[in-house]
Chain A
Amino acid sequence: MNLHFWLETFNLWVVLVPLLLGYGVGRWLERRHYRSIREREQALRHVLALSTRYVPEGVVAGSAQLVTGGVVISSDYFKTFVAGFRKFFGGRFRGYETLLERARREALLRLKAQAEAAGSTLVIGVRFQSTTIAGSATPSVEIMAFGTALIGTRPPTPAA
């Protein structure tokens, strides 16, 4: 393995090394994120988020407050590389599906955490919004969840 060999194959390594790095690190981070999401979802089970526009029947609220939860999530080199092939062949792209699933769940968790901090256990009218914030080289996306947290509801924890 002399210097000449590395120079000759330089273009290959420029692709291969970030690819392996992106795969290894990306997958490790993704696993860790999923673990953390599950834990927090369990911990915040008592806060409900509904998409209904009206206060559910049988619930009386003292006050209401806007709560939001935003997250910016970025693709890794590996996912983007595979996505490049998907441009040709189409089909379901699982790499981005997990990426966006994590983003939505994280955004909802942050919304629930904000609601809990405001003393609410019921958020209604929850909506999601997404914004692309980086170019197509390594795409990033912002997912934001927002809703109306009802404070001082009776009964305090409706059902659940």
Chain B
Amino acid sequence: MTPPRLENRLPPEDLLERDDHPLRELAWLAGASLALLAVLVLVTGLSARWLAPRLPFKYEVALAERVFDDEKAVVTSADAAAARARRAALQALADRVAAVMALPPGMPVVVSDDPSDLVNAYATVGGRIHVFHGLLRKLDSEQALAALLAHEIAHVKHRHVAANMGHGLAVMLVLSVVMPEGAAQAAQGLLSSAAQLALLGYSRDAERQADSEALAASVALYGHAGGVATLFKVMPQAEDAPAGTAWLRSHPDTVERLAALRAAAAAKGAAMEGAVTALPGVLKALPAAGAPKS
């Protein structure tokens, strides 16, 4: 019997040359991960956008109380009295506007002003509405201010604020799971400055809905749409608005809004102009622009 032949054979070729290019592998994996993440962010965000407006409004109010009600009082007492009077005047008008807007029960609207020079206003969680002095200076009639408040109250009424905030928080949550450090900080910052969130802007549909509510409220209160038209003309155009304000990105442009307003007013049989009431004195006597408040 012959002994078996013993041998070691050399490997045919190296694995390195035999296989897929590692960069292609990375591209596939990274691409698939990003696609997965995008789908996850989209689905979670839209689910939250759907869910948030269905949560009871009282949770929003509780959140707003935690976030906003520790604001520092105004420095000097003379300023404090003026600020109180300003708020009272704004609140009184907002209450009149809200009364014709058929808000669901348990949805209070609280208006406050902000000494910033921005030509803007926004609604945020818990029915809080902030009007910047920059905008107050440009509004010359009670009708225009009422139209503005009606527009913002409509965002509260239709829970646009909750939908936006839910969307934003859900996306942050997903991102914080994937990239723990940076996104968690971002989410925390978002919660602590919930007011800023409202500046992210609503969808165009939400804006149109708010515009049409503003028209309805104006007509109900004053019998004409003049205030809304003034408001649209005052709101900054894309060119002269400060960068980063929500209006220029999310609001339909002025010409389009005015045209839509004219059509809607005509459909309602409401006049585009009418009697104008001057703003109450406390809302005209604003402190010097940019004066620090807190």
Residues of A that sit less than 8 Å from B by CB: 11, 23, 27, 30-31, 34, 37-38, 41-42, 45, 48-50, 56-59, 78-79, 81-82, 85-86, 88-89, 94-95, 97-98, 101, 105, 122, 158-160
Contacts and interface: CB of A to CB of B under 8 A. Distances in A.
A148 to B, nearest CB: 15
B29 A82 contact: yes
A42 B9 CA distance: 10
Interface string B171-199: 00000000000100000000000000000
B201 to A, nearest CB: 23
B14 A49 contact: no
Given A58-B4, A101-B14, 9 more contacts: A23-B22, A34-B16, A45-B8, A48-B6, A50-B8, A56-B3, A58-B2, A89-B29, A160-B7
A32 B139 CA distance: 75
A85 B35 CA distance: 13
Nearest to A157: B6
Contacts of A23: 22-23
B20 interface: yes
B4 A57 contact: yes
B3 A57 contact: yes
Which of B4, B8, B25, B182 is most buried by chain A, counting CB atoms within 10 A of its CB? B8
Interface of B: 2-8, 10-11, 14-16, 19-20, 22-23, 25-26, 29-30, 32-33, 182
Contact of B3 (A59, A82, A95): A59
B16 A31 contact: yes
B32 A159 contact: no
Contacts of A58: 2-4
A56 to B, nearest CB: 6
Contacts of B30: 85
A66 to B, nearest CB: 19
24 contacts: A11-B182, A34-B14, A37-B14, A48-B6, A50-B6, A56-B3, A58-B2, A78-B26, A79-B22, A82-B25, A85-B26, A85-B29, A85-B33, A89-B29, A94-B15, A94-B25, A95-B25, A98-B19, A101-B14, A105-B11, A158-B6, A159-B3, A159-B5, A159-B7
